Amino acid sequence: MCESLDCRTANSKLWRIVKNIKREQEQNEERSSGQVFPDDKAAANGLAVYYQESGKLDFTRDNIPILRKAKNIIHGCRNTDVGDQELYRVFTSTELLLAMAMLDLTKSPGPDGIFGQMLEELGQLGKQRLVDLINLS
């Protein structure tokens, strides 16, 4: 699904998605197999799988203890009895707008390839759907 997204050109699939969201049209994202995700939750899970792979940390042999500690922290966050309860709170539209206001639009994108300008282009419906995706994942 996400490997075909290229943010460097203005007419790429990623930019077209953002422009269509700005026009507040209903969007359905496709998997790499061409199958359409049936709902926002399925799309959030599909994106989570992609970003789980792109966010893997690369540790050297000398850093094995740090790797073990990081894995324990990550696995601890999955348990609702352990970890920061703040992570389970619903992310609001106001918090998204505040975070977007603090964006440095001159910075290059991270591993997800999403530029700050793309987020600025989202319309009201697009921003609400982004909040919904964040809260579902």
Enumerate residues 6+ apart whose C-beta is below 8 A from 112: 51, 54
Region of poorest pLDDT, from 55-59, 87-91, 102-106: 55-59
Average pLDDT of the chain to the nearest whole number: 70
Q: What is the DSSP string of the chain?
A: -GGG---SSTTSHHHHHHHHHHTT----PBPTTSPBPSSHHHHHHHHHHHHHHHT-----GGGHHHHHHHHHHHHHHHSTTSS-GGGGSPPPHHHHHHHHHT--TTSPP-TT---HHHHHT--HHHHHHHHHHHHH-
- What average pLDDT score do residues 111-131 get? 81
pTM of the model: 0.41
Residue 36 bridge partners (DSSP): 30
- The four Cα atoms 6, 7, 10, 15 give a dihedral, to 10 degrees, of 90
Residue 102 — very low, low, confident or very high, per pLDDT cuts 50/70/90?
confident
Give the rounded percent of residues in the chain with a pLDDT score beyond 90: 0
Residue 48 — very low, low, confident or very high, per pLDDT cuts 50/70/90?
confident
pLDDT for position 1 = 45
